[in-house]
A and B are shown apart, each in its own frame.
Chain A
């Protein structure tokens, strides 16, 4: 399958700080998604990106579809304790048959 690498692998930040994470691939994707997973729960879709260069916001979250179509970025502004969880990127395969998930970024917010 496709390999999507996320960095950083984990982050420990103070409440109120901004967060940046990214997802890179050796392959081109036509759609990028960002999911958040709380412990013991399934992933929940945060943002979907459909076009190279696209910048999309959802509240305090902003995501960008990289120009090369091989990467995507997620920013969280003014972090709060409920932002804790694992963030996964996902790219839609060229065949359109399935999404491939990134390796995940674990976020811990210290009050």
Chain B
């Protein structure tokens, strides 16, 4: 299995809702990442987990809450989002954090906040 699987593919949520994005990989990668991407812009790093521990938080608002329950799974819990949070949320993984071979990305979750 050489894939990063993200669910759901699309999500529409109201500003008072609570929802979660899920990311799964079975490649034995020990680093996992959340990125946010606006249309025609590069991915922006949000969080990095290394060996299930939060390694980097790029000053992301607390309405985004990451969780890494085990080495294969990464969640992003969403609460009280704003319309400007609408974007493509990408999950990625790599064998280790900082490995120079690059990341494997999932297909993303297209989030719309109404």
Contact = CB atoms under 8 A, between A and B. Distances in A.
A101 B42 contact: yes
Interface stretch (B12-20, B64-72, B90-98): B90-98
A96 B103 CA distance: 13
B102 A90 contact: yes
Contact of B42 (A44, A45, A88, A92): A88
Interface residues of A, number: 27
Given A86-B40, A90-B102, A104-B41, A97 B97 contact: yes
Contacts, number: 60
Contact of A103 (B42, B88, B97): B42
B43 interface: yes
A49 to B, nearest CB: 10
Interface of B: 4, 40-43, 45, 48, 55-56, 88, 90, 92, 97-98, 100-108, 110
Given A48-B100, A88-B42, A104-B42, 13 more contacts: A33-B102, A40-B88, A40-B110, A41-B107, A42-B4, A42-B105, A43-B105, A45-B103, A88-B43, A92-B98, A99-B103, A101-B43, A102-B42
